[in-house]
Amino acid sequence: MITFSYSQLLGLVAPETILVLTALVVLAVDLLVMRESSLRDRFLVSGLFATVGLIIAGAWLLAINVPAPGAHEVVVGLPMLTGMYVDSALGRLVKVAVLVLTLCTIVMSLAATFTKHVGEYLALILLATVGMLFLISAEDVLMIFIALELTSLSLYILTAFNKRSLRSAEAALKYFLFGGMSAAFMLFGLSYLYGLSGSTGLHEIAARLGGPILDPLVAAAIVMVAIGFGFKIAVAPFHLWAPDTYQGAPTPSAAFIASGSKVASFFVLAKVMTLGLAHSGGSAGWGGYAPGWLPVLAVLVVLSTFLGNLAAIAQTNVKRLLAYSAIAHAGYALLGILANSPAGLTALVFYVITYGLTVLGAFAIVGLVEEATGEARLVDFAGLGRREPMLAFCMLIFLLSLAGIPPLAGFFGKFYLFAAVAAGGANLSLLWLVVFAIAMSAVSLYYYLQVLKQIYVAPSPAEPIALRVPAATRVLLALITLVILVLGCAPNLLLGYLLAAQ
């Protein structure tokens, strides 16, 4: 039996530990002290504690024992933990991004009225975040699975949190059933990898599987893992839960599912594929097909960008429209993994971070409209440009960034992804994917403009319902808009850090 010190372990996972403690504190404060206070005060106080915890964790990540760029800090003296928790400079940046997204979600929830269980709600958000942080650090399939389940289970409950709404319950059940099934697929696939290699560490798995000749069992494992992750990141054809869940879930929960959890899931998916199946990639090049995970992901990219963008055109509810556009964006993000290169990983991280921020802001605005009118139909946005010029401007920026119009962050993200994936195949053999993705993103402008048309062109309804915009949300939206504009004009502010961390 190997002995090791728990204090060392806790020190290593300090940010995660801080968040778990924060979650407990939030629970305790809300249940023990704030019981009798108004909903607003409870949210404010608990939110404040959660914010402090997030900031401390973030500061730790940025300041304490930062690993050298490129180095993968492996736990010393804890042989059985090798790969279970890996600390890297890039991983830390991704973690900070997740913390920021979590913080935004919490700010968004401050004025929420859909629940009275404030402590539980915020604690679950924090626990989901803990899962995401572990996910980002994990290079071991067992750990990946556990972290993913921690995240997912928290998110299922967060989806169901609006107990007064049937839709919320339906959304949660759908999400849970699909999620449970995807976990089964993933576990099945991972068990094959373990069976074939005798190890749970990604590096060992890659080394022992060898390649490039593909064992049929490895092929089966690849497909299973792809299906499992496909559900989690909502790529076609495993996306069926997403529109209903996004529409039914309380808006902050939906925003969190679409932003923070996506960032973590994509990062870990990239690791599983590029590290764990390093020699089993095959090729997705035009005319140069070779079996492996690259062609599998290429199929997912094509289906997602095609289906997501075309289905979004037909939507009349803006939340569902955003859900379908999220499917399309998941397709674009997969391109970063397909590039199978450090540039691809950087592009992926840049893309999902900026996408997460954008979609979070968009959800916040849609949520405000939904709260006022009961639903977020396209016509409910009519004349918003006149009634709420600031919200309308933010929405303009968010949607144009999603469409990939410069000089916004979404444009640079897409450009970098396309350049990375085009460089990923020898002799431009992956350019067909770029062509397809660009063509589909041209389609996407149509439905984003449909929303903007309602906001700026359509006349206001005769008796418009006034929106209730909490000050905190207003500040949050202004900040996100600013970040998207600034990152679009000066992508180097984020990209520089990402490149330096590689």
Tell me the angle at which helices 118-137 and 89-109 cross, rounded to the nearest 10 degrees: 160
* Burial readout 380-405 (b: 16 or more C-beta within 10 A, e: otherwise): bbbbbbebbeebbbbbbbbbbbbbbb
Residue closer to other proteins (CB basis): 187 or 438 = 438
- 8 A C-beta contact, residue 254 and residue 245: yes
Q: Is 374 left (phi over 0), alpha (psi -120 to 50) or beta?
A: left
Nearer Cβ to other proteins, position 189 or 410? 410
16 vs 388, beta carbon nearer other proteins: 388
- Closest approach, Cβ 406 to other proteins, in A, equals 4
Cβ-based nearer residue to other proteins, 113 or 492: 492
- Shortest reach from residue 62's CB to other proteins, in Å: 20
Nearest-CA neighbor of 391 among 482, 483, 474, 468? 474
Closest distance between other proteins and the C-beta of residue 457, in Å? 5
Nearest residue to 362 via CA among 389, 327, 393? 393
88 three-class SS: strand
Least CB distance to other proteins at residue 474 (A) = 17
Coil, strand, or helix at residue 84? coil
Distance CA 398, CA 252 (A): 17
Least distance to other proteins, CB of residue 25, Å: 41
Task: Compare residues 194 and 415 and give the one whose CB is closer to other proteins.
Answer: 415
Cα–Cα distance, 364 to 368 (Å, whole number): 6
- Minimum distance from CB of 330 to other proteins (Å)? 20
Alpha-carbon gap, residue 306 to 402, rounded angstroms: 16
Q: Which is nearer to other proteins, 55 or 439 (CB)?
A: 439
CB of 335 to other proteins, least distance (A): 12
284 phi, psi to nearest 5 deg: -110, 15
Q: How far is the CB of 486 from other proteins (least distance, A)?
A: 13
Count Cβ atoms below 10 Å from residue 68 Cβ, excluding itself. 10
Residue 1: CB minimum distance to other proteins, A: 48
State how far the Cα of 59 lies from the Cα of 150, in Å rounded to an integer.
24
Cβ distance to other proteins smaller for residue 25 or 348: 348
The stretches of 198-259 forming alpha helices (DSSP H) are 202-209, 216-233, 241-248, 251-258
3-state secondary structure of 159: helix
- What is the bridge-based pairing of β-strands 283-285 and 288-290? antiparallel
The closest alpha carbon to 52, from 92, 25, 87, 33, belongs to: 25
Q: How far is the CB of 46 from other proteins (least distance, A)?
A: 38
SS3 for 86? coil
Nearer to other proteins, 68 or 442 (CB): 442
Q: Taking the complex as a whole, how short is the minimal distance between the CB of residue 459 and other proteins, in angstroms?
A: 11
Amino acid type, 173: L
> Which residues lie near other proteins (CB under 8 A)?
343, 389, 400, 405-407, 411-412, 415-416, 418-419, 422-423, 428, 431, 434-435, 438-439, 441-442, 445-446, 449, 453, 456-457, 490-492, 495-496, 499
Closest CB to other proteins among residues 223, 438: 438
| Closer residue to other proteins (CB): 20 or 490 | 490
Task: Using CB atoms within 10 Å of the CB of residue 79, give its burial: 0 to 12 exposed, 13 to 18 middle, 19+ buried.
Answer: exposed
- 74 vs 449 by CB, closer to other proteins: 449
